[in-house]
């Protein structure tokens, strides 16, 4: 891979660029490959304004993305963001792409007046945890996350 990645906010027209990355991300987490489902999901989220996606591009090819979902803090009476998905293609790793995507997410959150930006990752994902710490994220010792899985 040659060249420096540029990061930009994705639009519905960029689904074809982002969907293969999103499909690889889902596959990394154990989902069967399904490029059509990945494209539909992204098209729906972007088309309805339900998420914000930034894509990293090198020489016209997508090499990474980050997807954020809006939420709110009732106590703070402000917007907040959940950084839900981050993926960098294997050939683009260790080249600053992940950091550039994280920086774009932070800038967007700050510009929107958000109270915070939060994310979760697997306890054994040391590479991601190192990136997040390097970007200023800290473990939230004040809360335990609970999840109710619905069928």
Q: Is the dihedral of CA 104, 109, 113, 115 positive or negative?
A: negative
CB 58 within 8 A of CB 1: yes
pLDDT tens per residue across span 8-35: 999 999 999 999 999 999 999 999 999 9
Residue 63 domain-assigned (yes or no)? yes
Find the domain containing 14 and state its range.
Answer: 6-134
Q: Is the pLDDT of residue 149 over 70?
A: yes
Tokens of 146: 């609970």
Asked if residue 121 belongs to a domain, the reply is yes
**Is residue 84 situated within a structural domain?**
yes
Give the count of beta carbons closer than 10 Å to the beta carbon of residue 6.
11
- The tally of domains found in the chain comes to 1
Tell me whether residue 11 is in a domain: yes
Comparing C-alpha atoms, which of 94, 93, 22 is closest to residue 55? Answer: 22
Q: How far apart are CA 20 and CA 151, in angstroms?
A: 27
Residues of the chain above pLDDT 90, percent: 89
Round the average pLDDT of the chain to a whole number and report it: 95
Q: Mean pLDDT throughout 106-122?
A: 96
pTM equals 0.94
Residue 115 sits in a domain whose CATH number is 3.40.630.30
- Rounded to an integer, the average pLDDT of 69-79 is 95
Q: For residue 103, what are the CA distances in angstroms to 18, 63, 128? A: 18, 16, 14
Phi, psi of 33 (to 5 degrees): -55, 135
Q: How confident is the model at residue 1 (pLDDT cuts 50, 70, 90)?
A: low
Residues 116 and 71: their CA atoms lie apart, in Å, by 10
| CA gap 47, 51 in Å, rounded | 9
């Amino acid at each position: 891979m040659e060249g420096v990645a540029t990061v930009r906010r994705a639009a519905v027209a960029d689904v074809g660029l982002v969907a293969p990355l999103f499909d690889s991300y889902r596959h990394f987490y154990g989902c069967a490959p399904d490029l059509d489902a990945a494209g539909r999901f992204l098209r729906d989220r972007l088309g309805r304004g339900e998420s914000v996606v930034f894509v990293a591009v090198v020489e016209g090819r997508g090499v990474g993305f980050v997807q954020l979902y809006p939420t709110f803090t009732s106590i703070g009476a402000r917007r907040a963001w959940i950084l839900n998905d981050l993926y960098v293609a294997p050939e683009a790793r260790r080249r600053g792409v992940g950091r550039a995507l994280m920086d774009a997410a932070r800038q967007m959150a700050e510009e929107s007046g958000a109270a915070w930006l939060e994310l979760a990752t697997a306890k054994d994902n040391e590479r991601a945890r190192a990136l997040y710490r390097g970007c200023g994220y800290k473990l939230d010792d004040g809360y335990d996350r609970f999840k109710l899985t619905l069928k």
